[in-house]
Structures are given as C-alpha cells and as structure tokens.
C-alpha cells in the first residue's frame, strides 16, 4: 500500500499542504473517536490524501475526499471500501456535498492542510487561488478547515492541527464560529518534525485534538486553563507561565519615528519566530520597535532568552517568551554580563559588574533556565 505522498513536486506539496500522516497518529485518532461510534455514524476525512486515516480495522461507514484527483485515485486503490469524493472542501460547504444527511452522526477525522496564506517565508512558492466560502475564510487553510467542520455541523471532530490555532489569542478569535460550538475534550501534542519531508526548519507543536459539539463551546480562558499533554508524557497549561508581553510591547507603535540614541528591537512574535529573527537592530523599519529605555532589562532578557532557547522543547515553540520575574531580578547581573559580550553598544545604557566572568554568567543563566523550565528542561 502506498501511504507516502509521491506524485507532487515540493511547490505543489506546499500549496496543498500535502504531508501525509504516520500510522501511529492515525491510531491515536481512532482510539479517541471509537467511544462515539454508533450505527448512525459516518466517519469523514475531507482532505484524505492517499487515505492514510482509513488504515484502521473497524467496521463503520467511511467517506474520503480530496481536492487532488490523483490522491483520491490512490485512496480508491488503497481502500476500495471507502466512498470517495473529489471536491474542494472549503467551497459551498454542506453535508449534501458528501451525501450526508442531517440525521447522520458525523465524525470528522484527518489532518487538513495548514499553511498560513499570508506567511512571508514561503510567499514565493505559495500561490493560492482556492475558492473558499466567505464565512469560513481566514488567513490559514487549517483554520478554514476547522470552520468548515462547524459548517458541516459535525458531532465529533478529531483532527491534527497546529497548537497555535488554540493558544494564540488572535487565532482563537478568528475561530469564533468553531469555538462557540465545540469544546476540546481530549488531546495530545506531537512534534511537526516527526512528519517525513515536512518543511525544513524549526519544528512546532501539532495537537491531535478531540472536539465535541457543545452548546456553550469554549472561551479563551478555557484554553488558558486547559492542561495539554504531550505524546512523551509531559504536560503544561498556559496559566503555568508569566509571559513577556505582560512587561513590554511586542509590536511597533504606529506613527513613531526613532530619534538619535533610540534603541531598536525587532518585533516579537512567538519563541519559534524569535529563534529565526534578530533582536536588537540598528536600522528602523516597519518591523522594529522603539525601546522604552526604562524597560530595557526586559529586552535584554528576550535577547538572552533567544541565546538559550535551545534548552526549550518543541512544544513551547508557539508560546510567547516567558519569564520568572522575581528570579530574573536576582539573576539580572548575569544577563547583563552575557549580553555585552554580544551587543557591546549596550554598555553605555546599563551598569554591569566587571568582576563577573562570562563563564560564571553563563552558568548562572543556565541555572535560571533550569528553574524557569523545570521538568521541561531539555
């Protein structure tokens, strides 16, 4: 049986988000939905690729769809018992498009494409003219897919998607039509790097999420309190952390032009972005923040955090930079010593202790991170 995508070139793979799912994760999904299966159930994967999600022995009605005809034909060969479709899952979304009636118990599984249609990194290869219904249109295909499941009025949803859809408030807010009607009831976090041939570069957390239709849905506070488990036995909740935007501005203020002597910093996003981006910069642009010098400490913190971010596990990749402020106040002198070895221009803005060696500074910063990250220390 062929389960690894082989008919698309790199560019088309990016455009379709066509990265097929390993069996281990498929099994997790079926384990989670099995308690909800009944005689009226239809299990649908509306972005099925070669049909990997149907490689599981269980008797129920199954439907598969993909926009890519060659993929659908491979699904047909792999799983002749599955009813297949070749539609755009995001256009004219309705149960009828998959011959599903209102009385059916609809369970949606799969691994929809996720690619930020506005992302800068891949703008050169990403050209997308897929039709998407206006009421489910977002800047990211994966989020539109979640909205399409709500539009199909699914009873149960168990899919893989980036954790960032839930934990980043801006994303969460774009999903209102979904989050108002569904509640996350179980989940496990996996590493994007475990997919074959995924985008080269920094791995990010993907959640295998089980959602149940719910009259009250969930609000962002529910997510902040939700304890996420990872596949390798760790767990965390957003409320475990104090985040750096509680102390400083993440984004540039509009219409502010720098004066001489201002210190500039690159816009902060999440930890993975920090790993890729610069921190202190010397040229002003639309992506630069003018630092409030009273808060320079915290920008220094972020810069040093970047240096030590290799200590963090992949599942923190989409969090904001976090901090233990009391502890930082105690360790600050070491942060100062470390930073001036890399950004000597900061010497004139801070008072640092010349007697602290760089060796001593690094050891103490490591200690800070050991305490900050606790059991997650890499």
Ligand X SMILES: C[S@@+](CC[C@H](N)C(=O)[O-])C[C@H]1O[C@@H](n2cnc3c(N)ncnc32)[C@H](O)[C@@H]1O
375: DSSP letter: G
Question: Pairing between strand 205-213 and 235-236?
Answer: unpaired
Phi-psi region of 217 (alpha: psi -120 to 50; beta: other; left: phi over 0): left
Q: Does 207 bind ligand X (CB under 6 A)?
A: no
Closer to ligand X at the Cβ: 175 or 238?
Answer: 175
- Compute the distance between CA of residue 128 and CA of residue 88 in angstroms, rounded to an integer: 13
Closer of 51 and 217 to ligand X (Cβ):
51
CB of 32 vs ligand X, minimal distance in Å: 15
DSSP 304-326: HHHHTGGGS-GGGTTSPPB--HH
Q: Which is nearer to ligand X, 161 or 168 (CB)?
A: 161
Q: Does 53 bind ligand X (CB under 6 A)?
A: yes
Q: Of the ranges 106-114, 171-179, 181-189, 236-244, which one interacts with ligand X (CB under 6 A)?
A: 106-114
Round to whole Å and give the CA distance between 354 and 375: 33
Instruction: Pick from 42, 43, 44, 90 the residue near ligand X by CB under 6 A.
Output: 90
Nearest distance from residue 67's CB to ligand X, in Å? 4
Q: According to the binding rule CB under 6 A, does residue 148 interact with ligand X? A: no
Site residue total, ligand X (CB under 6 A): 25
Nearest to 110 by CA among 56, 64, 164, 176: 64
Shortest Cβ 3–ligand X spacing (Å) = 7
Which residues of the chain form beta strands (DSSP E)? 41-45, 61-65, 83-85, 105-110, 156-162, 182-191, 205-213, 228-229, 235-236, 264-266, 280-281, 288-290
Between the alpha carbon of residue 289 and those of residues 166, 255, 258, 263, 318, the distances in Å are 26, 11, 9, 8, 21
Smaller CB separation from ligand X, 60 or 356? 60
Q: Which of residues 269-328 bind ligand X (CB under 6 A)?
A: none
First-to-final CA distance of the chain: 38
Angle, helices 325-342 vs 296-307, to 10°: value is: 70
Other CB atoms within a 10 A radius of the CB of residue 377 amount to: 13
| Residue 193 touches ligand X, criterion: CB under 6 A | no
Beta bridge partners of 106: 42
Residues 150-169 as x/- pattern, contact with ligand X by CB under 6 A: --------------------
Q: Between 2 and 327, whose beta carbon lies closer to ligand X?
A: 2
Q: State which of residues 31, 55, 117, 130 lies at the interface with ligand X (CB under 6 A).
A: 130
Q: How far is the CB of 80 from ligand X (least distance, A)?
A: 18
107 binds ligand X (CB under 6 A): no
Contact flags string 5-44 toward ligand X, x per CB under 6 A: -----------xxxxxx-----------------------
CA 127 – CA 132 distance, rounded (Å): 14
The residue nearest ligand X at its CB is 49
Toward ligand X, which CB reaches closer, 112 or 313?
A: 112
What CA–CA distance (Å, rounded) separates 350 from 296?
A: 9
CB closer to ligand X out of 188 and 373: 188
DSSP state of 195: S
Please give the radius of gyration of the chain, using alpha carbons only, rounded to the nearest integer: 23
Out of 110, 162, 217, 313, point to the residue binding ligand X (CB under 6 A): 110
The answer to whether residue 71 forms part of the interface with ligand X (CB under 6 A) is yes
Assess 66 for contact with ligand X (CB under 6 A). yes
Tell the smallest beta-carbon distance from residue 53 to ligand X (Å).
5
Binding site for ligand X (CB under 6 A): 16-21, 45, 47-49, 52-53, 65-68, 71, 88-90, 110-113, 130
């Amino acid at each position: 049986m062929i389960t690894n995508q082989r008919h698309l070139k790199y560019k088309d793979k990016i455009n379709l988000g066509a990265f097929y799912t390993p069996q281990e994760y498929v099994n997790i999904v079926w384990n989670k939905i099995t308690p909800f299966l009944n005689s009226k159930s239809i299990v649908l994967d509306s972005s099925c690729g070669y049909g990997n999600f149907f490689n599981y022995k269980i008797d129920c009605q199954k439907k598969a769809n993909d926009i890519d005809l060659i993929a659908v034909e491979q699904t047909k060969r792999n799983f002749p018992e599955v009813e297949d479709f070749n539609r755009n899952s995001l256009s004219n979304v309705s149960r009828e498009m998959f011959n599903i009636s209102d009385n059916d118990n609809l369970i949606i599984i799969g691994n929809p494409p996720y690619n930020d249609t506005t992302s800068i990194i891949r703008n050169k290869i990403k050209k997308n003219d897929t039709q998407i219904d206006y009421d489910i249109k977002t800047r990211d295909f994966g989020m539109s897919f979640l909205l399409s499941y709500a539009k199909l009025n699914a009873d149960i949803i168990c899919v893989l998607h980036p954790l960032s859809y839930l934990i980043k408030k801006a994303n969460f807010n774009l999903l209102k039509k979904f989050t108002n009607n569904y509640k996350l009831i179980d989940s496990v976090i996996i590493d994007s790097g475990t997919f074959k041939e995924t985008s080269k570069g920094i791995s990010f957390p993907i959640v295998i999420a089980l959602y149940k239709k719910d009259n009250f849905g969930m609000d962002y506070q529910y997510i902040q309190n939700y304890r996420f488990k990872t596949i390798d036995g760790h767990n965390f909740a957003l409320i475990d952390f104090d985040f750096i935007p509680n102390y400083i501005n993440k984004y540039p203020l509009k219409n502010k032009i720098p004066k001489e002597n201002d210190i500039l910093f690159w816009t902060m996003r999440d930890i993975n972005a920090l790993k890729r981006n610069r921190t202190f910069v010397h040229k002003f642009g639309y992506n630069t923040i003018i630092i409030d010098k009273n808060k320079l400490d915290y920008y220094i913190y972020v810069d040093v955090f970047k240096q030590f971010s290799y200590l963090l596990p992949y599942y923190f990749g989409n969090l904001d930079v976090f901090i233990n402020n009391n502890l930082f106040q105690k360790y600050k002198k070491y942060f100062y010593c470390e930073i001036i070895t890399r950004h000597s221009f900061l010497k004139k803005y801070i008072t640092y202790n010349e007697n602290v060696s760089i060796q001593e500074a690094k050891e103490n910063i490591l200690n800070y991170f050991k305490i900050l990250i606790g059991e997650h220390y890499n």
